[in-house]
Amino acid sequence: MDGNFNENDLSRVVEADRAHIWHHLSQHKPYETTDPRIIVEGKGMKVWDQKGKEHLDAVSGGVWTVNVGYGRERIANAVRDQLIKLNYFAGSAGSIPGSIFAEKLIDKMPGLSRVYYANSGSEANEKAFKMIRQIAHKRYGGVKHKILFRDRDYHGTTITALSATGQDERSAQYGPFTPGFVRVPHCLEYRRHEQDGAPVENYGVWAADQIEKIILAEGPETVGGLCLEPVTAGGGVITPPDGYWERIQEICTKYDILLHIDEVVCGLGRTGTWFGYQNYGIKPDMVTMAKGVASGYAAISCLVTTEAVFDMFKDDHTDPMNYFRDISTFGGCAAGPTAAIENMGIIEDEGLLENTVTQGHYMVEKLDELAEKHSCIGDVRGKGLFIGAELVEDRDTRAPVSEKMVQAVVGDCMAQGIIIGATNRSLPGKNNTLCFSPALIAKKDDIDHICAAVDAALGRVFT
């Protein structure tokens, strides 16, 4: 095989895939007897595979990314024009689309003012961790270097980002890890009965107080940062309980801990506000974002900080060590911010934040209706078009269904032409949640289709 085939020769594409592609998140043995799925085309909320089969995509490109839907000529044309004008320049130079997008972004993020460009969510998070570490060195003799992360949260694929993962199934075989990362408990109210001492009343405040206890045990003078997802994504679509964020904010202020919010999934409209944290009145010091920033039309991520964080890196300009010694080669690609400008423009012009709120409420209602019919649905939770339905064997004990059952539901929906997700392959009992994150353009009809498929699938799988 010589790679000498064109895109229309789809059987050759499949052959080359089987021979040479190492797929993400996949065990490859099954591909010896079944074809890998290749997505060939997309328009709006739909994608078509190599067999010409149409699918309604309820997970925005598999992993919560294509917020504005497929086939957006407005983005493609802008990127094309920019690439011809200037595709790339990096190092310490800026760019026109970089400046324009930064100003637009900051306009949506009161209290924050500096944008650092990178390429992926993991990378943006690593940069936030590096800033926290550097601040510890500059200000606190290296002592205030620990970074807290939460059980069930995920912050990326690199070894240090994995050192901050609360999903053991993802990190289990990749240690040893970077030292100085400390785990704090999750805040999933539906599973509070698994947490020693968790109260029925004021669970949110209790869950935040557990973090304070850990800070005190570690020594507040050693803790520099707290990194949290506003709504936990792959860990089970966990919406924060009432009172949680207010208490978190108090704790960070009290102990002078930088609050780093990972908006890699929630950023750019997923929860019906520009950023997930804006639902909860949080004032972060650092925010990272990636997936929805350009809806997958170009690779881009951003780390956004307050001016106070930025100022710490310029307070002594005569010191040659006193700046953020970091670069991303592809942080200089002009396609990223160009696509991001248009992506944001589409969200504004088409009223997609409002649509996300409306359709999100509708979808939760529909799933609650399904829960009346299917006792395997133990909990429906979400914010905007970021929704999970946790499956249990028994509503009283809340014993989770097996991963096999969850995958059977996902597979049944797929056979019906509806792509839904499930939170990560898991340790027993950890993740058993169906996951829905359609593009922010979803209409009532789309939601009806998705829910009808889930209804039929649950009926067949849990007979």
| 122 contacts ligand PMP (rule: CB under 6 A) | yes
Q: Fill in the per-residue mask, 33 to 72: x = in contact with ligand PMP (CB under 6 A), - = not in contact.
A: ------------------------------x---------
User: Which residue in the set 120, 165, 431, 433 belongs to the binding site for ligand PMP (CB under 6 A)?
Assistant: 120
Of 121-129, 315-323, 351-359, 375-383, the segment contacting ligand PMP by CB under 6 A is 121-129
Question: In the complex, what is the shortest distance from the CB of residue 192 to ligand PMP, in angstroms, rounded to a whole number?
Answer: 22
**117 binds ligand PMP per the rule CB under 6 A:** no
Closest CB to ligand PMP among residues 374, 381: 381
Comparing every residue's Cβ against ligand PMP, the nearest one is 121
Q: What is the distance between the alpha carbons of residues 80 and 76, in angstroms, rounded to a whole number? A: 6
**Measured from the CB atom, is 157 or 222 closer to ligand PMP?**
157
Per-residue x/- track, 268-297, ligand PMP (CB under 6 A): ----------------------x-------
Asked whether position 265 contacts ligand PMP by CB under 6 A, the answer is yes
Q: Please, is 278 exposed, middle or buried when counting C-beta atoms within 10 Å of its C-beta (0-12, 13-18, 19+)?
A: middle
Q: Which of 39, 100, 106, 157 binds ligand PMP (CB under 6 A)?
A: 157
Question: Least CB distance from residue 295 to ligand PMP, whole Å?
Answer: 13
What residues contact residue 151 under an 8 Å CB cut-off, 6+ apart? 166, 183, 184, 185, 186, 235
Please answer whether residues 155 and 166 qualify as being in contact, where contact means their C-beta atoms are separated by less than 8 angstroms. no
CB 163 within 8 A of CB 178: yes
305 binds ligand PMP (CB under 6 A): no
Q: Of the candidates 264, 370, 389, 435, which one interacts with ligand PMP according to CB under 6 A? A: 264
Q: Is 233 in the site for ligand PMP (CB under 6 A)?
A: yes
The token pair at 31 is: 């591909």
Pairwise CA distance, residues 255 & 270, whole Å: 31
Q: What amino acid is encoded at 395 in this protein?
A: R
Q: How far is the CB of 293 from ligand PMP (least distance, A)?
A: 10
Q: Does 262 bind ligand PMP (CB under 6 A)?
A: yes
Q: Does residue number 121 form part of the binding site for ligand PMP (CB under 6 A)?
A: yes
- Interacting residue ranges for ligand PMP, rule: CB under 6 A: 63, 120-122, 125, 154-157, 229, 233-234, 262, 264-265, 290
